[in-house]
Amino acid sequence: MSRRARRARNERPGPAGFLVVDKPAGCTSHDVVDAARRWLGTRRVGHLGTLDPLATGVLPLAVREATKLVPFVEGGTKSYEGAIRLGTDTDSMDADGAVVRRHEGPLPDEAAVLEALTGFLGEIEQVPPMYSAVKRGGVPLYRLARQGKQVERDPKRVRIDRIELLKYAPPDVEIAVDCSAGTYVRALASVLGERLGCGAHLARLRRTRSGPFGAEQTVAASVLEREAEQGTLEGRLVPPVNVLGLPVVRLSGEAAQRVRHGGDVEAPDASLAPGSKLAALGPGGELVAVLEATPGRRLHPLRVLAVGRQD
């Protein structure tokens, strides 16, 4: 029997959906994915945006057929609350790293901190930290960093929609940030220290929103593990159609079958612009596919979900 066949045989059937974990500090996002795979009896689990080991908060997981929908929900605005500690630089730009420089002079006043924070607003170029999962020649940067290596990293454009000073209690600067996906708050902390001339690192971080998922939906890993033992965990899964945020089209049984086989169907609305996306539901209300409008009043399947429970 092939490895794929053995994995399929060991897969526990169940619903598709999204599980919103309140990630604890001290573990990686992949650690949480591995735990969810054990809880749910499936290898088909993936996260929607890495959180550093130091960080806590919103970590959405896609489960079973919902993994096909990750490209449609993994972007969007991320929101964070955290604290930047002035006066100390670390090699990882956060509190998990080794101290590489200490500032001996006085720390800046609140007015200087506010002015420096305002300078981050809008689109900025950000260099990924060496301690990150970004790959260089197929190798994650953090592996090179652990070997003591430094390599050139191409800057990328990110967007800061809000950066608010919540409290300044030197040496700690408490902030709230709304930003585009792919933004490193650690890097913001390091650059803030450079601008203020005193150095800085990220002391703590909590993600409060990731795209359509908010802190109010999160559940502690310890609670989820207990519910897995009790057999009630799958009731926590958020149905895929609730997450996509797309207009809904209901298909007849015949049309749903056609879509499941990769076929086009007629659009119900002639005014749909080409490129528009819709969530297609079958006769039983199950999510069948994500469809895209094409010229000629047709809807073409972009992602098709296998027949099964999605509640």
Identify the CATH number of the domain in which residue 268 sits. Answer: 2.30.130.10
234 and 254 inside one domain = no
**Whether pLDDT at 120 is above 90:** yes
Residue 160 lies in a domain: yes
Exposure string over 39-60, b if 16+ CB within 10 A, otherwise e: bbebebbbbbbebbbbbbbbbb
Residue 310 lies in a domain: no
Residue 19 lies in a domain: yes
Last residue of a domain, one of 210, 228, 254: 210
What distance in Å separates the CA atoms of residue 202 and residue 112, rounded to the nearest whole number? 18
pLDDT value at residue 149: 72
Name the DSSP class of 306. P
Q: Which two tokens stand for residue 147?
A: 């070997």
One-character DSSP codes across 55-112: -EEEEEEEEGGGGGGHHHHS-S-EEEEEEEEETEEETTSBTTSPEEEE--SPPP-HHH
Place of tokens 């972007």: 75
pLDDT higher at 73 or 150: 73
Residue 33 lies in a domain: yes
> What total of structural domains would you count in the chain?
3
Residue 311 lies in a domain: no
26 and 104 inside one domain = no
168 and 189 inside one domain = yes
120 and 62 inside one domain = no
| Mean per-residue pLDDT of the chain | 90
Contact assessment for residue 294 and residue 304, using Cβ atoms and an 8 Å cutoff:
no
Last residue of a domain, one of 241, 261, 294: 241
205 and 217 inside one domain = no
115 and 191 inside one domain = yes
138 and 116 inside one domain = yes
Active-site positions read 52
Residue 250 belongs to domain spanning: 246-304
Residue 199 lies in a domain: yes
In percent, the amount of the chain with pLDDT more than 70 equals 92
**Whether pLDDT at 270 is above 90:** no
pLDDT value at residue 1: 43
Residues 6+ apart with CB under 8 A from 32: 21, 23, 47, 59, 61, 221
**Whether pLDDT at 311 is above 50:** no
42 and 102 inside one domain = no
Residue 223 lies in a domain: yes
83 and 178 inside one domain = yes
Range from 133-137, 195-199, 296-300 that averages highest in pLDDT: 195-199
206 and 82 inside one domain = yes
Residue 309 lies in a domain: no
293 and 229 inside one domain = no
Q: What is the mean pLDDT of residues 48-70?
A: 95
pLDDT value at residue 137: 67
114 and 195 inside one domain = yes
Q: The domain that contains 150 carries what CATH number?
A: 3.30.2350.10
Last residue of a domain, one of 241, 256, 290: 241
pLDDT value at residue 10: 67
**Whether pLDDT at 111 is above 60:** yes
In percent, the amount of the chain with pLDDT more than 90 equals 77
Instruction: Report which secondary-structure segment, H or E, holds 197.
Output: none
pLDDT value at residue 7: 52
